[in-house]
């Protein structure tokens, strides 16, 4: 990290120019970004319903609808109906329309003068008001029309456009291009929706172009005068553009294209509001807390660069802007600013300590380089694991967000050092302005509160947090799950209110197909048709269902007409031959949506306005239960539809939530465990960061917030973000431990140093996430507000729970062990390290207290009471004692020797002086440190106690031998293990 920082600092101008050039290229690429808000992204690619859905729609037609709602108190007048017919004709002419259902197309089956008439209700529009009233009554009485075509009061009607599939339109365009000998213009899903929506909207507003009349084939050979008559006749039949909003009380379009286009517009509206607002709040917050305009502006510059890179990468990978990916720029701004704050804060501290230029940049890398790397990895992975989902919308978001955060991290590591080379001199050192005393007082108050109230009782603190989280754990199973496109929108949005109005007066836009499979002509038989009719009656009685239509309804209406119009005979006749005769009244296109495969397949079509996917899933489950009961026959069946596929994906959301949260927790545990070489430290970090997540899940359950594609991201993402402050605290604690050699002092010093940066970043993140609460999309709004809540809860956990738990442990890092130079001879010579590998010996030394002594410095003094023993890690010492006024050197101690061990178990006075004869490093152990080590690492402590017992045994043996010896003070240490010194190299280590 130091090399990267120094390189970017030395070649600042080159780095800045390169980044700016790459930014310009990225912006040029990003203009190719597309928008896609279709329901396809909410359906798993491997959905078992997909193949069946495609087969059903191939046979019976599309279930994707565009609905034109028309309401007028005088709807059934000649003028209004004529205008409505013209509108229906214009809509039918749109190339994307597969078929149209309206007052002018749906069969009105009734008896007329002893004959059965199955023609459309308004094949001809009568002029007499009384006849128009009869037509209105007939429409309301017709089950094929009521609520699907005409409202119960007769004042509102729907023109339903069944749309061609996107793939079919693409094929038609390619075929037309081939015939014309040109390249087909590309058409993505978003453009397809726009094509339909704007085509309908232009007709409604009277802005559509009227095609000039053309002569039929061969007419160019006719007399010119006759040609003019033909053109004039065709001109008279052309419907002139008309603003239909002025012709009816109310007219508008709803359905899939309108929903998708308006949601795309909401995306751009949101971005135009949220990004400037987030920038403003960030600049103000950082400017106030860091007291530097430049420090407040730098994160915004880095945000612009990173967003450009991300946009280019989205184009490269073919990822569109969706209901989730559009918030990535805001996340880049919100999350990326935290790393900039840490870098700038360290730069100011470096300047305060007298570091300038390249030295200040090296200071940053030395102090937080490792933490920056880890937080960049964990945050990127937090977003990446959200892509572990079967839903395309989640996969795309996970990929884009991970790339975005990673690019933002790289920009901070490269652009920021280069920026500091040029403009860093204008950034003032830390604590140079008045008011910092207030900040210090706040940090001191927090540290004192921890010192006196919480740190002395870690178990009680942990139990308190568990007691707070436990009710939330109990509530978690009550969280509802939703996966519905309409559910993305707020209830007061215009499109939702229009959909609700259509559903209230007529029927919803959700289509469900119940498809039955039988043998050829199976659904010409009265028994099968009666089962379909019974099922339809049962479904119509369900208030969740708006309309139900099947071939049985057509047969029943013909039977009623054939028996004089008596409604009591609106049923299925028992004679199969009679049913076959009834079917002659219909053209194949009339029944195409309801029967196929030579009457071997039958389709029951439901319409509903259920916007809650859990409720829709329950309806589907109830239908399947009824069909499985056998009361409606034993035919094989499938319940399909795009809305059914979307709703069924709620299980994938739950699975994705479990997988992403588990993956992020495991990743966090692995990273912290590897970094600090301790499962205890890993468990501590996981515990601190799971607490806010559990609390938020409890809040979701308590307040009825659904688990959807937005809220299911909160857990994994916020763990990846919140762990940044935890890692900063842990790395700081590790450094303070090396300096202070005391857990309590180290944690208090860490809190004082990290509290203000943690407070700044947490409030900045929370404030940034609150901005997402202004989104037009409910899942994004919920994601923003819940993430803000997590940041506040994580702040509490990082300031209270993390320090309290850290105070009970001692941390060393992987880099500490790798960088610690331990001579192999020490392991071979010292009894203290017997049975330990070199790696374990390093951990043992670093977990204990390592002290240094200069030449001539005393380690212990004769007569003072001691409580510690020492092991020589490097250097030499001499043991001396005054005897009869003369200082006598008793022995010389070297690498691996142990001394002072008796004081470890007994408060006795030292019997001699021990002085360093070279610069020396010593391992110091007292009883409390041994007890702590037993908690930190039971295995190492068990080996240490075993070796210590051997040393004490050897000490006792040597003491007994000295008692019997005529020379009580030998010239060499009596407790050194000769056998260890003479042991061959291939012996135990």
Q: How confident is the model at residue 66 (pLDDT cuts 50, 70, 90)?
A: very high
Each residue's pLDDT tens digit, 678-722: 888 889 888 888 999 999 999 999 998 988 888 888 888 878 777
pLDDT of residue 158: 94
Measured in whole angstroms, how far is the alpha carbon of residue 100 from the centre of its chain?
Answer: 40
Alpha-carbon gap, residue 303 to 334, rounded angstroms: 9
Each residue's pLDDT tens digit, 641-664: 989 998 888 888 888 888 888 888
Q: Where are the beta strands (DSSP E) in 589-687?
A: 595-596, 601-608, 636-640
Each residue's pLDDT tens digit, 721-730: 778 888 888 8
Alpha-carbon gap, residue 655 to 289, rounded angstroms: 41
pLDDT of residue 977: 38
Query: Own/partner pairs for 590-597, CB < 8 Å, 24+ apart?
Result: 590/107, 590/118, 590/554, 591/551, 591/554, 592/60, 592/61, 593/60, 593/61, 593/99, 593/549, 594/60, 594/549, 594/550, 594/551, 594/554, 595/523, 595/551, 596/59, 596/60, 597/59, 597/520
Q: What integer is the mean pLDDT of 628-633?
A: 92
pLDDT of residue 157: 96
Q: Is the pTM for the entire model greater than 0.85?
A: no
Alpha-carbon gap, residue 784 to 777, rounded angstroms: 11
Alpha-carbon gap, residue 194 to 813, rounded angstroms: 56
Give, as one character, the DSSP assignment of residue 184: P
> Is there a contact between 344 and 290 (Cβ–Cβ < 8 Å)?
yes
Q: What are the structure tokens assigned to 586, written together?
A: 């219909």
Q: What integer is the mean pLDDT of 735-748?
A: 84
- Terminal-to-terminal C-alpha distance of the chain: 36
- Alpha helix (H) residue ranges in 220-323: 224-237, 256-290, 293-317
Q: How confident is the model at residue 988 (pLDDT cuts 50, 70, 90)?
A: very low
pLDDT of residue 460: 92
Q: Is the dihedral of CA 539, 540, 545, 551 positive or negative?
A: positive
Give, as one character, the DSSP assignment of residue 879: E
> Is there a contact between 602 and 528 (Cβ–Cβ < 8 Å)?
yes
Other beta carbons within 10 Å of 417: 27
> Is there a contact between 555 and 529 (Cβ–Cβ < 8 Å)?
yes
Q: Which H or E element spans position 621? A: helix 613-628
pLDDT of residue 112: 80
Q: What is the mean pLDDT of the chain?
A: 85
Q: Is 330 helix (H, G, I), strand (E, B) or coil?
A: helix
Residue 974 pLDDT greater than 60, yes or no: no
Residue 381 pLDDT greater than 80, yes or no: yes
Q: Which segment, 197-201, 709-713, 835-839, is predicted with the most confidence on average?
A: 197-201
Of residues 940 and 310, which shows the higher confidence score?
310
Alpha-carbon gap, residue 794 to 789, rounded angstroms: 8
Each residue's pLDDT tens digit, 91-120: 998 989 999 999 999 988 888 877 888 889
What's the Cα-to-Cα distance from 119 to each of 109, 239, 388, 734, rounded to whole Å?
7, 23, 54, 86
Residue 638 pLDDT greater than 90, yes or no: yes
Q: What are the structure tokens assigned to 634, written together?
A: 């034993």
Other beta carbons within 10 Å of 764: 22
Q: How confident is the model at residue 771 (pLDDT cuts 50, 70, 90)?
A: confident
pLDDT of residue 220: 67
Alpha-carbon gap, residue 238 to 364, rounded angstroms: 75
pLDDT of residue 155: 95
Q: What percent of the chain has pLDDT over 90?
A: 32
Nearest to 23, CA basis, from 302, 325, 422: 302
Alpha-carbon gap, residue 147 to 540, rounded angstroms: 12
Give, as one character, the DSSP assignment of residue 887: E
Each residue's pLDDT tens digit, 388-430: 888 888 889 889 989 998 998 899 889 988 988 888 887 877 7
Each residue's pLDDT tens digit, 306-363: 999 999 999 998 888 888 898 889 888 888 887 788 788 888 888 888 888 888 888 8
Q: Is 272 helix (H, G, I), strand (E, B) or coil?
A: helix
């Amino acid at each position: 990290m130091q090399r990267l920082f120094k390189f970017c600092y030395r070649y600042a101008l080159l780095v800045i120019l390169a980044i700016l050039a790459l930014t310009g290229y990225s912006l040029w690429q990003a203009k190719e970004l597309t928008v896609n808000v279709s329901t396809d992204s909410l359906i798993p690619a491997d959905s078992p319903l997909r193949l069946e859905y495609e087969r059903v729609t191939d046979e019976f037609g599309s279930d994707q609808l565009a609905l034109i709602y028309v309401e007028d108190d005088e709807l059934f007048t000649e003028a209004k109906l004529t205008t409505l017919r013209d509108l229906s004709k214009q809509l039918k002419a749109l190339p994307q329309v597969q078929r149209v259902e309206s007052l002018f197309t749906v069969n009105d089956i009734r008896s007329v003068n002893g004959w059965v008439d199955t023609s459309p209700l308004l094949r001809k529009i009568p002029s007499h008001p009384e006849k128009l009233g009869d037509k209105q009554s007939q429409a309301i009485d017709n089950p094929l029309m009521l609520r699907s075509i005409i409202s119960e009061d007769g004042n509102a009607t729907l023109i339903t456009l069944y749309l061609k599939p996107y793939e079919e339109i693409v094929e038609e365009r390619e075929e037309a291009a081939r015939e014309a000998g040109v390249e087909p213009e590309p058409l993505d899903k978003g453009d397809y929706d726009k094509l339909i929506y704007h085509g309908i909207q232009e007709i409604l507003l009277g802005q559509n172009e009227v095609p000039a009349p053309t002569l039929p084939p061969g007419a160019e050979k006719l007399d010119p005068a006759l040609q003019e008559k033909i053109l004039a006749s065709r001109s008279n039949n052309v419907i002139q553009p008309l603003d239909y909003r002025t012709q009816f009380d109310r007219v508008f379009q709803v359905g899939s294209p309108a929903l998708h286009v308006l949601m795309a517009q909401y995306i751009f509206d949101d971005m135009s509001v949220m990004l400037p607002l987030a920038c403003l709040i960030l600049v103000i917050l950082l400017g106030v807390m860091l007291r530097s305009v430049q420090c407040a502006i730098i994160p915004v510059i880095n945000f612009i660069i990173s967003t450009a890179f991300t946009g280019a990468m989205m184009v490269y990978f073919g990822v569109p802007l969706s209901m989730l990916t559009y918030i990535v720029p805001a996340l880049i701004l919100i999350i990326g600013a935290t790393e900039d704050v840490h870098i700038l804060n360290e730069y100011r501290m470096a300047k305060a300590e007298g570091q300038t230029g390249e030295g200040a940049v090296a200071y940053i890398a030395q102090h937080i380089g490792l933490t920056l790397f880890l937080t960049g990895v964990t945050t990127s992975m937090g977003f990446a694991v959200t892509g572990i989902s079967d839903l395309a919308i989640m996969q795309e978001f996970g990929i884009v967000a991970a790339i975005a955060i990673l690019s933002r991290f790289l920009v901070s590591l490269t652009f920021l050092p280069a920026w500091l080379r040029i403009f860093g001199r204008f950034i003032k050192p830390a604590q140079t302005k008045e008011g910092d005393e207030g900040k210090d007082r706040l940090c001191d108050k927090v540290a004192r509160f921890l010192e006196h109230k919480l740190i002395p009782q870690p178990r009680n603190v942990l139990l308190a947090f568990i007691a707070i989280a436990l009710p939330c754990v109990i509530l978690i199973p009550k969280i509802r799950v939703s996966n519905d496109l309409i559910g993305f929108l707020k209830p007061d949005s215009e499109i939702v209110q229009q959909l609700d109005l259509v559903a209230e007066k007529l029927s919803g836009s959700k289509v469900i197909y119940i498809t039955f499979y039988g043998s050829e002509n199976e659904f010409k038989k009265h028994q099968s048709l009666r089962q379909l009719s019974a099922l339809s009656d049962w479904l119509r009685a369900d208030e969740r269902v708006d309309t139900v239509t099947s071939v049985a309804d057509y047969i029943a209406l013909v039977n009623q007409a054939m028996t004089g119009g008596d409604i009591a005979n609106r049923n299925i006749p028992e004679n199969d031959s009679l049913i076959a005769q009834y079917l002659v009244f219909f053209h194949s296109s009339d029944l195409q949506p309801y029967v196929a495969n030579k009457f071997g397949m039958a389709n029951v079509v439901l319409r509903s306005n259920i916007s809650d996917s859990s409720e829709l899933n329950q309806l589907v489950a109830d239908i399947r239960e009824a069909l499985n009961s056998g009361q409606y026959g034993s035919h094989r069946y499938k319940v399909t539809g795009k809305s059914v596929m979307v709703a069924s994906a709620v299980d994938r959301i739950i699975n994705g939530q479990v997988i992403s949260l588990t993956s992020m927790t495991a990743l966090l545990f692995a990273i912290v465990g590897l970094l600090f070489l301790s499962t205890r430290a890993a468990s501590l970090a996981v515990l601190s960061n799971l607490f806010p997540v559990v609390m938020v899940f409890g809040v979701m359950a308590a307040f009825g917030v659904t688990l959807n594609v937005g809220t299911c991201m909160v857990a994994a993402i916020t763990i990846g973000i919140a762990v940044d402050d935890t890692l900063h605290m842990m790395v700081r604690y590790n450094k303070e431990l090396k300096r202070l050699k005391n857990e309590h002092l180290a944690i208090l010093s860490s809190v004082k140093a990290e509290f203000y940066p943690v407070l700044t970043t947490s409030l900045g993140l929370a404030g940034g996430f609150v901005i997402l609460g202004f989104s037009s999309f409910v899942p994004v709004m919920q994601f923003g507000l819940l993430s803000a809540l997590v940041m506040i809860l994580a702040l509490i956990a990082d300031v209270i729970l993390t320090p309290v738990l850290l105070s009970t442990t001692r941390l060393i890092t992987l880099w500490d062990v790798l960088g610690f130079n331990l001579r192999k001879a020490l392991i071979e010579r010292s009894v203290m390290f017997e049975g330990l590998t070199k790696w374990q010996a390093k951990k043992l030394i670093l977990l204990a207290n390592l002290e240094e002594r200069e030449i001539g410095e005393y380690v212990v003094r004769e007569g003072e009471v001691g409580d510690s023993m020492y092991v020589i890690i490097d250097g030499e010492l001499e043991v001396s004692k005054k005897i009869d006024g003369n200082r006598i050197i008793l022995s010389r101690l070297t690498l691996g020797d142990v001394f002072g061990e008796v004081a470890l178990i007994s408060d006795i006075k030292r019997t001699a002086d021990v002085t360093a004869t070279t610069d020396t490093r010593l391992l110091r152990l007292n009883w409390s440190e041994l007890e702590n080590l037993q908690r930190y690492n039971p295995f190492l402590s068990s080996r240490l106690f075993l070796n210590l017992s051997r040393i004490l045994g050897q000490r006792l043996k040597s003491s007994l031998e000295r008692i019997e010896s005529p020379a009580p003070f030998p010239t060499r240490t009596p407790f050194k293990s000769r056998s260890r010194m003479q042991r061959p190299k291939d012996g135990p280590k």
